[in-house]
Structure 1
Amino acid sequence: MEKSGIPLPLMHIPFEREKYLLVDLSVSNPDLGASIRDPEACQAYLDEQLRQHGAGIAYGGYLEQRALYTSFTHFKDDPSEDRNIHLGVDFWAAAGSPVLVPLDGRVHSWAYRQNAGDYGPVIILEHDSGSGKMYALYGHLSPTDLQGLHQGQVFRQGQVLAHLGDVEVNGGYAAHLHFQIIRDLGSYSGDYPGVCTASSLDFYRQNCPDPLIFLNYQ
C-alpha cells in the first residue's frame, strides 16, 4: 500500500489548512473548564472556535491528555490510574456528516458499543501494506451505517463508509469521528482502546502511529 503526497480523503470537506482548525482539548488548555465534559458545552466551544477562524472542521488530539473522560466510568477500569491519553485523531463536524475511506480496504469487524463514553457505532477496516496488515478504526458513527455490513466487504478510496452519529448514539459526545491507526489489532474485534494510561503509553505509541502522518495532513 503506497500513498502519494496528496492528503487522503477522510471527511466531506477536503483537507486544506484554511478549512481545518487544529484544536487543543488537553488539560493544559486554560480556556477549557469542567464544562468541556458536557457535550453541549463542548459543541459550543468548538462551534465558536470554527466561527472565529472561518474553518469548517476542527481536528486534533493525538496523544493529548484530556479531562474529557473523567465523567465516564468506562475509563476507570484501573482504579489506580486513569485512561486519559487519546490515541487517535478526532475530526469534529456536524452529526450526519459523511466519512470517507482514505485508502482501499475491507471490513474487519464492527460493533455498536453503547456504554457511556464508548465508541457508539464503530467500524474497523483492514488494509494491506508493504510490511503487512494494518487497521483503521472509525468510531462514533451512526447506527444505520452498520446495517448490511459483512466481513471482508471492500470499500474503495473516496467511498462513503459511514456518517457521524449524534450525542444520543455516539457514546455521549459532541459529534465527531475518532480515527485511529493500529498496527497489531491482536484479538480485538469491533473494538480497540482509544485512550490509554500514562504507564502504557510507550506500547500504544508504537502500535498506534499518528493518523495525521498516515493521512498526510501535516
Structure 2
Amino acid sequence: MSAAFEALIKRYDYHPVIPAERQYGQPLIVDLTPESEIWQKVSDGHDYAQEIKRQAAELQATVEVGRYAEERLIYQETDNFVGQEARTLHIGIDLGIPAGNPVYAPLEGCVLGFGNDPTQGSYGPSVVLRHELEGQVFHTLYGHLSVRSLAALSVGQEIGRGEAFAAIGSPDENGGWPPHLHFQLIRDMQGHTADYVGVVDPQYAEFYLDNCPDPNWILNMSL
C-alpha cells in the first residue's frame, strides 16, 4: 500500500455517504465469517438477515456494518457466483439501512459509469464516481442502489460534495440482498466503468487490498 496515497485520502474531510445520523450513530458490526456465532442462531425460519435485524434492534443500531477484508461464504449459492465459488474476500464496506435512504457523494467528482446487473447476488444498480485530489485520481463505487437512482445520471456528469445522487435499493432490485450500500474505494478501475469486483479470491488479496484500500478512510466511522 502506498503510504502517500493513504496519507492523502486521510487528510481530507468527507461528507457522509448515508444520512449522518445513521453513519455516525450506533453501529452494529456484523461478523459474517464462517466462524461467526451468528450461524448458530440461524434456522429454517430465521435466516442470517433476520438475525442481523434482531441484533440491530436489540442494540438500537442506526446502521449495520459489513466489514472490509472479511472472508465470507454467503455468496456461493447465488447465481452471480456460479463457477467463481473461490471468491470469498469482501473488499468493500456494507452499510445496512432501509431502502429509499439517500446516498451522498463524499467529495466532488464525476460519473465514470453506471449500470444495472439483475443477476441474483450481483450489485443490482451500481454507480462509480471518479475523483481527483492533488492530482491523484481514484474512484468510489456504490452498489445495491435503487433502479430510479440511474434515471437522471449521465457519464461525465459532475456530482458535488454532499449531493444526493442515488438511493438504497430494495431486495427486488438490488441483486436480492437485504437493503444496504456496498461502498468501495478503488485506485485503478482496470478498464471497468460501471462496476468493479467487490468480492475476490483470497489468493489475490495482496493486489486487491492494495488497489481497493479500506473505505473507512473516507467513511471515518468508529469501527
One-letter amino acid of the counterpart of residue 58, structure 2: Q
Q: Does 1:119 align with 2:123?
A: yes
Whether the aligned pair in 1 keeps the contact of 2:14 and 2:218 (CA below 8 Å) is no
- Where does residue 41 of structure 1 map in the other structure? 47
Indicate the RMSD between aligned Cα atoms, in angstroms.
2.4
TM-score, with normalisation over the residues of structure 2? Answer: 0.87
For 2:17, which of 10, 24, 27 is the aligned residue? 10
- Where does residue 30 of structure 1 map in the other structure? 37
Give me the whole-angstrom Cα distance separating, in 2, the residues matched to 1:162 and 1:83. 27
Moved more, 29-38 or 69-78: 29-38
Give me the whole-angstrom Cα distance separating, in 2, the residues matched to 1:93 and 1:26. 21
- Where does residue 150 of structure 2 map in the other structure? 146
- Over 3 Å counting, the alpha-carbon distance change for 1:77 and 1:133 in structure 2 is farther
Give me the whole-angstrom Cα distance separating, in 2, the residues matched to 1:176 and 1:22. 14
Whether the aligned pair in 2 keeps the contact of 1:6 and 1:216 (CA below 8 Å) is no
- Where does residue 139 of structure 2 map in the other structure? 135
Give me the whole-angstrom Cα distance separating, in 2, the residues matched to 1:68 and 1:27. 9
In structure 1, runs of 5+ residues without a counterpart are: none
Whether the aligned pair in 2 keeps the contact of 1:109 and 1:151 (CA below 8 Å) is yes
- Where does residue 27 of structure 2 map in the other structure? 20
**What is the deviation of 1:71?**
0.8
**% identity of equivalent residues:** 33
Moved more, 23-32 or 159-168: 23-32
Deviations 1:164-206 (A, max 9, x none): 1111111011010000000000111211100000111111010
**What is the deviation of 1:43?**
3.2
- Over 3 Å counting, the alpha-carbon distance change for 1:36 and 1:165 in structure 2 is farther
- Where does residue 91 of structure 1 map in the other structure? 95
Whether the aligned pair in 1 keeps the contact of 2:110 and 2:130 (CA below 8 Å) is yes
- Over 3 Å counting, the alpha-carbon distance change for 1:34 and 1:153 in structure 2 is farther
- Over 3 Å counting, the alpha-carbon distance change for 1:22 and 1:153 in structure 2 is same
- Where does residue 100 of structure 1 map in the other structure? 104
**What is the deviation of 1:53?**
1.0
Deviations 1:128-184 (A, max 9, x none): 022521000000000011012111111112111211111111101101000000000
Q: Does 1:194 align with 2:198?
A: yes
- Where does residue 66 of structure 1 map in the other structure? 72
- Where does residue 207 of structure 1 map in the other structure? 211
Whether the aligned pair in 2 keeps the contact of 1:134 and 1:184 (CA below 8 Å) is yes
TM-score, with normalisation over the residues of structure 1? Answer: 0.89
In structure 2, runs of 5+ residues without a counterpart are: 1-7
Give me the whole-angstrom Cα distance separating, in 1, the residues matched to 2:43 and 2:86. 18
**What is the deviation of 1:21?**
2.1
- Where does residue 114 of structure 2 map in the other structure? 110
Whether the aligned pair in 2 keeps the contact of 1:75 and 1:84 (CA below 8 Å) is no
One-letter amino acid of the counterpart of residue 190, structure 2: G
Give me the whole-angstrom Cα distance separating, in 2, the residues matched to 1:34 and 1:121. 31
- Over 3 Å counting, the alpha-carbon distance change for 1:28 and 1:136 in structure 2 is same
